[in-house]
Structure 1
Amino acid sequence: MTTVRTLITLAVKKGLNLYQLDVNNAFLHGDLNEEVSMTLPQSLAVDSQNMRKGDSLVFVAIYVDDVILTGTDLEKINSLKSFLHDQFKINDLGRLHYFLGVRNIVQADGVLISQRKFTTDLLKEFDSFNCKVATSPLDYTEKLKAIDGELLSDPTHYRKLIGKLNFFTNTRMDIAYSVQHLNQFMKTPREPHLKAGYHVLRYLRQDPTMGIFISNKPNLTISAYCDSDWAACPDSSKSVS
């Protein structure tokens, strides 16, 4: 997902169009009852690559049977589409709009990438769609500890929730610290940890459409902010940044 975000960002900043292809691979949905061995052809053994000829540049990003194309030469992009179709039988889905659960919304001043559908599906799955919203990802008044609270009878419920929240950090950087913090209790999760996980859901409920806005202004300067809390961890007394 880092590669996908980077590719989208560069395309938006450079004013390039993004296209999406889908490969017709029926075997991906079949059941295999026998042992299968295969060797990947040398020319296909990369997940992403770029092809440069003269002043033209074309980027190809591949995830299983989903493909993103972008570049500076529309003629070469169309030529590549035709070549891929001859080799693999592809569906040309046009401009990039939905890739690996991330929605790509083109606006006049840039692109918004979000996981709105994934957000609403998760809220429904964990029965939090109509819950009271929270204004922060975690309750700042509560310090979670590794050994406080009753052990969960079924830890898989907690692990499933945090695992899905991990996927959210692709477009919701505002919950990145909270999810990383809750990841520390995956081995022996307890009631307070699960409660904190549901608190994150209540925060997501506040605005399921929120995502990352990528401005089409050419500036590529990165601004970073850091806040440190001295000896904040209640288990190790280490500082948290």
Structure 2
Amino acid sequence: MCTVRCLIAFAVKKQWSLFQLDVNNAFLHGDLDEEASRQWYAKLSQTLCSRGYTHSLNDYSLLVKISDHSFVFLAVYVDDIILTGDDLDEISALQFFLYDQFKIKDLGLLHYFLGVEVLYHDFGVLLHQKKFISDLLGEFHCTDVSPVTSPLALTIKLHASLGDLLPKPDAYRCPIGKLTFLTHTRPDLCFVVQNLSQFLHTPRVPHMDAALHVLRYLKGTSEIGVHLNNSPTMSLVGCCDSDWAACPNSKHFVTGFCVFLGNSLCYALF
């Protein structure tokens, strides 16, 4: 997802169109397991390399074709593909070729990718997961809860050994896994999700209460996302901060950092 965010940010700044492609399910013969997914990607990758595409050094799922005056990028995740670049003739030819070889169809401009919605406006794009949040709130019966203004109560210090054990640990692990997925477009959740993830092995009642507090926060902030602006600025800026021995369980540093491409947030981690 970091690669996807960076690719979209770069394309928006270059004012390139972002296209979404989808593999015909009949061609994939049903659901892909891990081995079938590798075989499918290897075949697609080999075919693209024969057309002059090469793999990115940082992410094998990103393929690039560079000529004297043009660039084309193609990001692949199982059966979802993002295609962008400044060579519309090559992009059009590739779309026809992929449909002929793999029944990969053009879905038009990128609007929804791996649960992330893409909203276009005059100043760039907004990546958000409003539908995912709505489904999450419904799944955990939080549709009608009252919202709160922060993802974690400021006075709360969670400990690994305080509180009654949850009788069903999966009831805690499931929402935390989904909240982790939300951090792709919600960097404001990174700290609290990292904090709650420390208790996945033996979750307790206070940990579950904190997770439900996050859902209440999402109730009032479902439209927030990551804004990627179309300013031509390409400066790369990193910011970080640490809190000495702030973790009450491990006594380790609590450290966070983020990376911006021309004021567009491309990566954040706690």
* 1:99-121, Cα deviation, whole Å (9 max, x unpaired): 11100111001100000000000
Partner of 1:119, secondary structure, is helix
CA distance in 2, matches of 1:136, 1:163: 20
Equivalent residues in 2 for 1:27-66, closer than 5 Å: 28=28, 30=30, 40-41=42-43, 43=46, 47-66=61-80
**Aligned 8 A contact 2:27 2:103 in 1:** no
Counterpart residue number, 1:119: 133
Deviation at 1:56, TM superposition (A): 1.4
Following TM superposition, by how much is the alpha carbon of 1:220 offset from its aligned partner in structure 2, in angstroms? 2.7
| 1:100 aligned residue | 114
TM-score (norm 2): 0.82
Rounded to whole Å, the distance in 1 between the matches of 2:240 and 2:8 is 26
Name the SS of the counterpart of 1:146 in structure 2: coil
Out of 190, 198, 205, the position equivalent to 1:184 is 198
Residue in 1 aligned with 2:26? 26
The sequence identity of aligned pairs, in percent, is: 52
* Other structure's SS at 1:80 match: helix
Q: 2:160 aligns with which of 136, 146, 150?
A: 146
1:4 aligns with 2:24: no
Residues 1:28 and 1:149: Cα distance change in structure 2 (over 3 Å): farther
TM-score relative to the length of structure 1: 0.91
State the 1:222 CA deviation: 4.4
Give per-residue Cα distances to partners, 1:153-181, cap 9 Å, x unaligned: 00001000100000000000001010001
2:209 aligns to what?
Answer: 195
| Structure number having the greater strand percentage | 2
> In the aligned structure 2, how far is the partner of 1:31 from the partner of 1:110?
35
- What is the CA–CA distance in structure 1 between the aligned matches of 2:83 and 2:46, rounded to whole Å? 17
**Aligned counterparts of 1:229 and 1:19: Cα–Cα separation in 2:** 42
Is 1:78–2:81 an aligned residue pair? no
Aligned-partner residue type, residue 26 of structure 2: A
1:226 Cα offset (Å)? 4.1
**CA displacement 1:5-40 (0-9 Å, x = unmatched):** 0110000011111001111132646379xx98x954
Equivalent-residue separation in structure 2 for 1:129 and 1:235 (angstroms): 33
Distance 2:235 2:67 in 1: 28
In 1, the alpha carbon distance for the partners of 2:197 and 2:243 equals: 19
Q: 1:43 to 1:28 in 2, by over 3 A?
A: closer
Report the 3-state secondary structure (helix = DSSP H, G, I; strand = E; otherwise coil) of the residue aligned with 2:243.
coil
Q: Unaligned stretches of 5+ in structure 1?
A: none
Describe the SS at the equivalent of 1:192: helix
Kindly provide the CA deviation profile for residues 163-222 of structure 1, in whole angstroms up to 9, marking residues without a partner as x: 000000000000101000100000000000000001111111112111001110012334
C-alpha displacement at 1:224, in angstroms? 4.7
